[in-house]
Amino acid sequence: MSKVAIVTGGGSGLGRSAALRLAEEGVNISVVDVNEEAGEETVKLVKEIGPDAIFVQADVSKAEEVKKYVDETVEKFGTIDYFFNNAGISGSGKYYLDTDIEEIEKIININLMGSMYGIRYVADVMIKNGGGAIVNTASSAGVIGQTTVVTYSATKHALVGITKSMAAEYAKDGLRINAVAPGPTETPMVASYFEANPEMKKSAEAGIPQKRLGTPEEVAELVNFLLTSKAQYINGEVVRIDGGFTNAK
């Protein structure tokens, strides 16, 4: 029987790339995104590869909508084997004391609460069905401190803690949960951030030992490895994929 994965933020960037890479392994995909057009495009691309796919529109900052995408996935496919807990936003790039309270709350609600809701509902299904694998999208900003992303960094540091603590609590129940920590990567979210803060792109590229940004496909390859049976004894880890960026700090 084919495996089943939920990918949040699946309409673009890391989410779309991971969905397509998993599809190459024959995995059926539940694509979750707030953007219907982008999410449906990912579904189309997955089906062109071969596996089945559905789109569920959801605002992950709302617990009831997270529960909806979990319930609709189980209704369609019967189970959840893999979860790429990826949806997130970076924010405006303003210094923290110049950032509106509304923006702080939005970043926390999407990046942190949305991820926690996802883990809560997905892990419950996985454990009842004998186990499963989760990969959270952390960030280089979840490993080191970085300017202009204080709130974003706080949420990603929190995801690192969630990853480690969930593994400690539920590994015995067949749950594997890891995180990837990408450095600056060529995604629409990062492009939007650099457009608002052009000086930061040159600074980022200069600070990466490999002197380039990462690609979504490179991150997707790591996500695929961590989710699938190839990584059965990796649990509670935060794997950096940043061209040496955080090691150079």
Residues that are catalytic: 152
Q: Do residues 134 and 178 lie in contact, with contact meaning Cβ atoms separated by under 8 Å?
A: yes
Output 101-104 pairs: Cβ under 8 A, ≥24 positions apart: 103/151, 104/151
- φ and ψ at residue 20, rounded to 5 degrees: -70, -35
Of the candidates 137, 135, 129, 127, the residue with the CA atom closest to the CA atom of residue 169: 127
Q: What distance in Å separates the CA atoms of residue 222 and residue 203, rounded to the nearest whole number?
A: 25
Q: Do residues 86 and 8 lie in contact, with contact meaning Cβ atoms separated by under 8 Å?
A: yes
What count of other Cβ atoms lies within 10 Å of the Cβ of residue 174?
13
Q: What distance in Å separates the CA atoms of residue 237 and residue 249, rounded to the nearest whole number?
A: 20
User: What is the torsional sign of CA 124, 127, 128, 129?
Assistant: positive
